[in-house]
Amino acid sequence: MREYAKSGATRALWVGGLVASTAIALLASGAIGAGKHRITVDEAAIVASADKGDNWLTYGRTYDEQRFSPLTQVNADTVSELGLAWYADLDTARGQESTPLAIDGILYTSTAWSMVKAFDATTGKMLWSYDPKVPRETLVKACCDAVNRGVAAWGNKLFVGTLDGRLVALDRGTGHVVWETRTTPEGSDYTITGAPRVVKGKVIIGNGGAEFSARGFVAAYDVDTGKQAWKFYTVPGDPSKPFEQPELERAAKTWSGKFWTLGGGGTVWDGITYDPVTGLLYFGTGNGEPWNDEQRDPANGDNLYTASIVAVNPETGKYVWHFQETPEDRWDFDSDAQITIADVTIEGQKRRVLMHAPKNGVFYMLDAKTGAFIQGKPYTTVTWTTGLDPKTGKPQIVPEARYDKTGKLFIGMPGAAGAHSWHPMSYSPKTGLLYIPVTQAAFPYLAADKDWQPEPLGFNTGMDGVKTAMPAIPAVRAGAIKATTGALVAWDPVKQKAAWTVQHDAAWNGGTLATAGNLVFQGTAKGTFEAYRADTGKKLWSAPTQTGVIAAPMTFTAGGTQYVAVMAGWGGVWGLAPGILSLKGGAARNVSRLLVYKVGGKGKLPNVPWAKLPLDPPANFASPEQLAQGVQQYVRFCAACHGDAAVGSGVNPDLRHSMANADPKVWQAIVHDGGLAANGMIGWSKVMTPAQIESIRGYVVSRANEDKALGEK
């Protein structure tokens, strides 16, 4: 483990950064004193912070989740002088997706494995660290790495959701646990990766799991006690039992067959937004489960309320309206992406709107009060729909995209990673542009055989991953790699077209931050942190990060100085599953750090050597029968974490390079007996025989030899 590094920056008195209104609030609360907080976070403080940039009090900075900072010290003229103020190495080597909070000169961030850390924002000194001790075997139920996207603050507490389904309240001053509540059923397939939001004294948290077995819900908990205040199911359960909510009766009419047996999906794993103006709480819901619609709902109904935005009353959790973006979803088109609220002028009329750029590749603008569809258009290449009905916003689905009906391969763009997923976007009211981190990656959708059965462990998507694995054919690979790119799209939500686009080589880049300094910040998969002019997209600044950056930057002031911070650390689903396509960009390795910059910062990152094992496999040993079995087992139980076609995607070991593949005994000790369970690699003896596990070794060794023959080292 590396030490927490400090910069040489002089310790500034952060008292100087306090603005008068904050001081008044603190005096009123009597909170000033040693070890006491200067600000009590509540709705008034969050709303008031919109016009001040000193603190970053909630995940999307303000309730409207615009991720726009009014700070201007770092601006288009000064950004060329931006340098590292300090950095902190993290003690977790998995994807870092968190946006830190800044409160009174202290940075609070969650890290992989749902840990939370507090740092002095000027010196980088770690003040406290909290580890919820998530059992590492939870990882096998997590689709997309042991990530966590952030903490919430309210009063003098912080809240974090843990990968294994708990909601934990911490004392903001000490990091000590105040209360802890289990939010998901014991032993279930739910995981929490999203940031909680706090609205009217209630902590709102959802969860993921719709690639396993999960019935989506979101719930609210009392900030003081952790007691559940309300719970909203997004999809109906067994219709022979009473519906928990009246709107589920209507939803059940859009499903057929035994849809509830795998939960149905519709999980609320990221986007949750509260609008104090409309008084509504909005959240996005995920894909239907399994992905293969024929296996979930043979009648191919709309499957409410999957792939939708739902508005509820935040006090009661009562349904107000919904808008379904992807009816009969079969492409893993979660609608969980960030929901942003803004006032915009459309056809001469000022309207309060909800803006959304979900995985399906289409930008949506809805009326924030009523959910009425205003307008929508693809913000990237889209092959599953020819467009939206201009009145209802319902998509026309291309017949070939119904791969479960046709039984044929459908190359979908966007694919299952989504054109834009959880990566935060930002909106500048100054430019009127939304800055969307876009992934341009196709996915080969092919349904599994009709007699497909759910897996006892592992992914339940109902897809044929064997036939669609990346072949060892150089021309096919080169074509797929070339077609897999990313972009920073500055989207004009009123004109519904890109004002400018920055094309990236690689697909999986960081979230964005917009500032009044006419800047947009974004980290990249190639291991850089960059700043662009918000109005034109001109690149103004870049710094090396040594690892792919996927999280969103944030900014704040401490001691009168503006800082820009970002969590660095390659990972998430793109750091696990896509195999060779993930490696494009060149920084597909995890070096987990919190990076903090300021104008005039002189810090330097120490070089971390890249210890990559050579591609030196034993000779092929498997019979054709063994190989056929090996690829089946690999796709069922290994591919989601160790990468398509056994090519590691940068976070978990690349099995082709693993020394374990040379020794059947070591292989069994790990894969069968669980010798690396402490790292999250469980033993698979419950679902595979030693012979099946040995067949996987045969497949991995064969893949390694194929790639070695193609010149890979």
Quick one: 162 or 285, whose CB is closer to Ca ion?
285
CB distance 469 to 580 below 8 Å: no
Q: How far apart are CA 540 and CA 498, in angstroms?
A: 20
**Shortest reach from residue 507's CB to Ca ion, in Å:** 17
Quick one: 334 or 654, whose CB is closer to Ca ion?
334
Residue 334 touches Ca ion, criterion: CB under 5 A: yes
Quick one: 189 or 332, whose CB is closer to Ca ion?
332
Name which of 66, 148, 108 is nearest 565 in CA terms. Answer: 108
**Shortest reach from residue 334's CB to Ca ion, in Å:** 4
Amino acid at 629: Q
Name which of 160, 3, 152, 165 is nearest 91 in CA terms. Answer: 3
Long-range contacts (CB closer than 8 Å, 24 or more residues apart) made by 370-373: 370/321, 371/309, 371/311, 371/320, 371/321, 371/322, 371/323, 373/323
**Shortest reach from residue 438's CB to Ca ion, in Å:** 18
Q: How far apart are CA 362 and CA 376, in angstroms?
A: 7
3-state SS assignment for residue 668: helix
Of 104, 332, 464, 535, which residue is the catalytic one? 332
Burial class (CB in 10 A: 0-12, 13-18, 19+), 643: buried
Quick one: 116 or 214, whose CB is closer to Ca ion?
214
**Shortest reach from residue 267's CB to Ca ion, in Å:** 7
**Shortest reach from residue 257's CB to Ca ion, in Å:** 20
What is the CA angle 550-552-555, rounded to 5? 145
Q: Which residue in 247, 270, 332, 694 binds Ca ion (CB under 5 A)?
A: 332
Complete edge-to-edge strand list for the sheet that includes strand 554-558: 82-89, 593-599, 561-568, 554-558
Amino acid at 218: V
- Before 424, cis peptide (omega within 30)? no
Q: How far apart are CA 18 and CA 16, in angstroms?
A: 6
Q: Which residue has the closest beta carbon to Ca ion?
A: 287
The region of 131-139, 294-302, 328-336, 543-551 touching Ca ion under the rule CB under 5 A is 328-336
The region of 223-231, 326-334, 554-562, 653-661 touching Ca ion under the rule CB under 5 A is 326-334
CB distance 312 to 232 below 8 Å: yes
Q: Which residue in 287, 306, 546, 692 binds Ca ion (CB under 5 A)?
A: 287
Quick one: 104 or 270, whose CB is closer to Ca ion?
270
CB distance 260 to 291 below 8 Å: no
Quick one: 290 or 548, whose CB is closer to Ca ion?
290
Q: How far apart are CA 98 and CA 102, in angstroms?
A: 13
Q: How far apart are CA 689 and CA 698, in angstroms?
A: 14
**Shortest reach from residue 573's CB to Ca ion, in Å:** 9
Site string for Ca ion, 230-269 (x = CB under 5 A): ----------------------------------------
Burial class (CB in 10 A: 0-12, 13-18, 19+), 623: exposed
The region of 92-100, 279-287, 417-425, 581-589 touching Ca ion under the rule CB under 5 A is 279-287
* # chain residues binding Ca ion, by CB under 5 A: 4
CB distance 116 to 158 below 8 Å: yes
- Which H or E run includes 443? strand 443-445
**Shortest reach from residue 590's CB to Ca ion, in Å:** 22
Name which of 99, 112, 87 is nearest 543 in CA terms. Answer: 87
Reply yes or no on whether 332 is catalytic: yes
Quick one: 18 or 573, whose CB is closer to Ca ion?
573
**Shortest reach from residue 211's CB to Ca ion, in Å:** 6
The region of 9-17, 287-295, 303-311, 611-619 touching Ca ion under the rule CB under 5 A is 287-295
Query: What is the DSSP annotation of 361-389?
Result: SEEEEEETTT--EEEEEESS---SEEEE-
**Shortest reach from residue 305's CB to Ca ion, in Å:** 15
- Find where tokens 């004002």 sit: 499
Amino acid at 294: E
**Shortest reach from residue 443's CB to Ca ion, in Å:** 12
Quick one: 288 or 603, whose CB is closer to Ca ion?
288
Quick one: 287 or 308, whose CB is closer to Ca ion?
287
Dihedral angle sign, alpha carbons of residues 557, 561, 564, 567 = negative
DSSP 292: S
Residue 325 touches Ca ion, criterion: CB under 5 A: no
Quick one: 112 or 268, whose CB is closer to Ca ion?
268
Sequence-distant (6+) residues with CB within 8 A of 434 are: 340, 355, 357, 363, 425, 426, 427, 490, 491, 492, 493
The region of 87-95, 101-109, 227-235, 283-291 touching Ca ion under the rule CB under 5 A is 283-291
Residue 404 touches Ca ion, criterion: CB under 5 A: no
The region of 280-288, 301-309, 417-425, 650-658 touching Ca ion under the rule CB under 5 A is 280-288
**Shortest reach from residue 304's CB to Ca ion, in Å:** 17
The region of 230-238, 330-338, 457-465, 502-510 touching Ca ion under the rule CB under 5 A is 330-338
Quick one: 65 or 332, whose CB is closer to Ca ion?
332
Report CA 330 to chain centroid distance, whole Å: 20
What is the CA angle 490-357-517, rounded to 5? 35
Quick one: 95 or 653, whose CB is closer to Ca ion?
95
**Shortest reach from residue 291's CB to Ca ion, in Å:** 8
User: How many residues comprise the chain?
Assistant: 713
The region of 96-104, 286-294, 515-523, 561-569 touching Ca ion under the rule CB under 5 A is 286-294
Catalytic center residues: 332
Would you tell me which residues interact with Ca ion (CB under 5 A)? 286-287, 332, 334
